[in-house]
Structure 1
């Protein structure tokens, strides 16, 4: 028997049952497309996180209240509020004799509230940050008009505010915001600056953020006396580990923590934060791949059911072929080829569909303002082909074995 013979028979058989062929292929298409989309979107998400961290800078460190595992997320990531990190700690960090290589450091508090202006037609729910003037240097901000806070304005309860680019357009659509008054949580603030547009990031959208002096936010807007976190810029990447050690020594001393005692704060470099984020996105990606693989399992079961129906409908054909000399391995090969043919067709269409839907998803995300890259890992295409082929073989094996056991006598007695 020539290899082309089973292929011709498979084509004729599948063509004779177009609806069943379509439904069987559809299950494989959905499964493979889902795996392609999950792997592609996961790769794009990791690239987005990497690019955003690189944009922030590789020589930054973050200081957060609350202890954490070295490789795990900080306590604040779980919503735990810790009040041990204070403004006095921030002042100590600013003294170069304590941390010689810390070029700049800013405290942060965060919140949300309603902001309004006379020029706006409606009130806007916005996120705000109370920050130090050094944040401009640390986060590479650019002021489009006006200015940012001065150091003395950080702690004198100045009611001044700097607007992100999008918030400025929303609040003052037809006039210059500088010198105008807005109310944030019903407290009036004078607009002194507008930032350059930066676009959305993996973590926030600075264009929709508003910034007020640190102590003003703590006292007037939030009613707290502690920091949510601090971020510092190290003078050179080579000094990051030394700076982390200096900060650790300083804060442990200030918080009266013994040498072998557990810290009540966490210090992370940009590289460490990137490692944690990458591990989190990896876990999420593999979890989603596992879920998407369930649809492949369902598709495989559909193939097995379809092939079993085909066996029951072709008993006479199988018996006749055996009567004229076909052996068991010929019958097994025939049904495995049919099963593999279905899954390879489904796999090919699924790969194309997955790439198409990934592209459409990427366009939508870009329209939302994110710097999203369209990435289809070559490994996802290879996996799509290999998995679809294996599904055809694995789920087609039982029907093929069942078909090979049909005897000519069964065929004669089959009605």
Structure 2
């Protein structure tokens, strides 16, 4: 038997049962496409997180209320509300003698409300922040100004709005000097920010910023902070500053040496590590689900090949009667199974890449700095896995076919 003979026989067999071939390939296509899509989205998400951290700089420190594991998410991310981090803590952190290398700091509180200007109403997210936000987040003013220090706690009814929200509320007119109501409270627009692009989990261009004290007392009715972010004068002083902040807050909160801190202090690098860990866990979880699709596809291939074996008893028996050996029969059926999975793998790779590309276009259209990334090794994995599935799930039907004797072929007739 020539080496090309099993290929020719396999091609004729698969061509004769196009519907079964299509349905069998479909399972592999879905599985491989899912794997490629998950790995592409995972790579793009991690790149987005990294770019956001790079944009704000490596010399920032986040202060988050609530205890948390060193490598785990903050308590606030788990929906736990902690009220122990206050404005007095923020004021103490601003004192240079307490944290010598701290150059700027802002507190954060957030909420949502209906923003109204004349006949236009939009459900909007707002943040109460300190004047230092401009230094912390590298914000640039397109028109007007940002908050003065004295406006942070004197309940000033002023606001600065993001570029997108300004367009939505005011169309082509200049918002500076106009009055917008939040929760029926009038606020004077004093500034509009330059467009920044979407961040990892939000779009800052749609945010409305108000002074910290105003947001706490007039809009939210709270006395505590959701978080704070500090800028350190030099990245080499990050660890020293984290220690200073931790010592100060533990002292202010009257914490004993044996007590766990009721807050966490993390650098942007540590935050990146945590976010990377979270995205990795999510990626591998989704990969496990996608692998189930491949498993189902493999079982479908095995069932299809077993049906093929039962329908080709006469053919196999006659081939063995004229001299075909078991290895020839096994080779033929393995080639058929591998061909099915390789076709499914190639189509799955194409579909996975295409869907990932379309998803990136949609996210960019929504304003996110999303980059289309498909790790090259994921393409190799998709191709290799599809081939291995063909071998593994085609082996049993192939062995079963090789055991058919010429006498069985006669009885089959």
Offset, 1:201 = 1.1
Q: Provide runs of 4+ in structure 1 moved above 6 Å.
A: none
1:273-326 Cα offsets, whole Å, 9 max, x none, are 111100000011111111111111111111111111111111111111111122
**SS of the residue 1:268 aligns to:** strand
Offset, 1:236 = 0.7
Provide the aligned length of Structure 1 versus Structure 2.
Answer: 413
**SS of the residue 2:58 aligns to:** coil
Alignment of 1:125 with 2:123, yes or no, is yes
After TM superposition, the structure 1 = structure 2 runs for residues 69-84 of structure 1, keeping only pairs within 5 Å, are: 69-84=69-84
Partner of 1:17: 17
Native 8 Å contact 2:203 2:367 kept in 1: no
Offset, 1:243 = 0.4
**SS of the residue 2:90 aligns to:** helix
Offset, 1:2 = 2.4
2:187 pairs, out of 168, 186, 189, with 189
* Residue segments in structure 2 that go unaligned for 5+ positions in a row: none
Cα distance in 2, alignment partners of residues 177 and 367 from structure 1 = 25
Cα distance in 2, alignment partners of residues 216 and 362 from structure 1 = 38
Partner of 2:45: 45
TM-score, structure 1 normalization: 0.98
Partner of 1:237: 235
1:324-345 Cα offsets, whole Å, 9 max, x none, are 1222122111111111111111
1:360 pairs, out of 345, 358, 361, with 358
Offset, 1:371 = 0.9
Offset, 1:122 = 2.6
Cα distance in 1, alignment partners of residues 98 and 196 from structure 2 = 34
Native 8 Å contact 2:175 2:189 kept in 1: yes
TM-score, structure 2 normalization: 0.98
Cα distance in 2, alignment partners of residues 163 and 237 from structure 1 = 31
Alignment of 1:227 with 2:212, yes or no, is no
Instruction: Give me the CA root mean square deviation.
Output: 1.0
Offset, 1:123 = 1.0
Offset, 1:174 = 3.6
Offset, 1:196 = 0.6
Cα distance in 2, alignment partners of residues 297 and 210 from structure 1 = 49
Cα distance in 2, alignment partners of residues 326 and 205 from structure 1 = 67
Alignment of 1:333 with 2:331, yes or no, is yes
Partner of 1:380: 378
Partner of 2:254: 256
Partner of 1:6: 6
1:293 pairs, out of 291, 294, 307, with 291
**SS of the residue 1:97 aligns to:** coil
Partner of 2:300: 302
